[in-house]
Structure 1
Amino acid sequence: MKALVAVKRVVDANVKVRVKPDNSGVDLTNVKMSINPFCEIAVEEAVRLKEKGIVSEIVVVSVGAKEAQEQIRSSMALGADRGILVETADELGALEVAKILKGVVAQEQPQLILLGKQAIDDDSNQVGQMLAALLGVGQATFASEVKVEGEKVQVTREIDGGLQTIELNLPAIITTDLRLNEPRYAALPNIMKARKKPLDTKSPADYGVATGSKLKTLKVEAPAERQAGVQVKSVDELVDKLKNEAKVI
């Protein structure tokens, strides 16, 4: 069984994001970049399935700038077998990325497609669902447990009311949640081996996708700083502040 895992290059989760002075976007100058944490969980799950003998090959794909090769190599160091970079300098929306991934799936013919449930930079939570719709295959989002048995996969997913377990026919798309697993650290020998693993570079045009998102970022602002709280002496004073100052009632 072949598994395809999509990963995204994002600002490291431990880095404090800085907004550009002109509010046109996020300042990436000298900023540490990493694999999106949810995507890293997807890679880890694919590697665990390979260790169990269920998956025979793991292909990692990323869509973005040339620098995303770094995140693909990191995925290979974790256990992926080869990588594909669909290189583009354009800012793409979720639908464009899903269309590119559809083309990759058509060429690679994986039985299992794993994605992080969302990226921590845009939080769109759309690519997995869009890809499932474009391919016409089953999907299981927010996965906290994955069990593959023959030509079916059982996925326990987190919903508002608790946990829901569903069964899908393969091929299927799964988007991973935080509680699915804890990604491992790459050992130095594996990091060295990852440098020699095959990595193909493609373009969106290779999959018949025109670049250029229909969405445009107008303005990016840093969140407002939290104000210090105040103590009140009575319920009446609390209600007065909520009504006249906070204006929430």
Structure 2
Amino acid sequence: VAFYLLSQEVARHVKVVQSGQGADEVFAGYSWFPPLAGVPREQAAEVYCREFADRPHQELSGVLAPGHLLERDVSGDFVRQHVARPGADTALDAVLRLETTAMLIDDPVKRVDNMTMAHGLEARTPFLDHDLVELAAACPDGLKLAHGGKGVLKDAARRLLPAQIIDRPKGYFPVPAVRHVEGALLDLVRDALTSHAARARGLFRPEFVRRLLADPESDRATTGVNTLWQIGLLELWLQAHQM
């Protein structure tokens, strides 16, 4: 939603923009990358899932109603199988390969492309130039993890940009509901989760939904996303598509 609205406004003024998409995945800029420093190669998937996955698979039994939870940890298996492939020397290398060849393609890149093209806006992604990606992949872990992440990129930029831009705290671009559910948005989510359609579907445990609705800020995913928003958004999507 945020990229859609931003693209709508930007398209009023220009037709082509450059996007920073990919820099964090290519140069190890996210908070879940530093914990991989020095981790044995065989523990890469375990550490990555602990730092990045919304919640462990076993915790989903308290979220989903019986009959909707797979016995096998499918998403965890995907990570473990991908990371275990040969060709990456360190734990960080293996995870960055996963991020750049799977996660990045099916989420940030697709999101930016779809939302910009919805308004006839062309977005270019210079950090995903294949020569740059190959160069970054060849850099030692320490160069990428330096300065809190993206170290080699920050060092290169110091000849061009002031320190207050390079060293500012990392910011994100979510819609507010990702962090806080309140007011009219809370009413929307409550209506969706307590509707006849939601009760008939029986996807979530009723006691879990009641607890979140009573205290919307009480539960968050590993990366800080509001859990009530996650399940409410899924229910709204299912209803919109009459599923």
Greater fraction strand = 1
Instruction: Answer whether TM exceeds 0.5 for this pair.
Output: no
Q: Which gives a bigger RCO, structure 1 or 2 (Cα 8 Å, sep 6+)?
A: 2
TM-score, normalised with respect to structure 1:
0.29
TM-score, normalised with respect to structure 2:
0.29
Greater fraction helix = 2
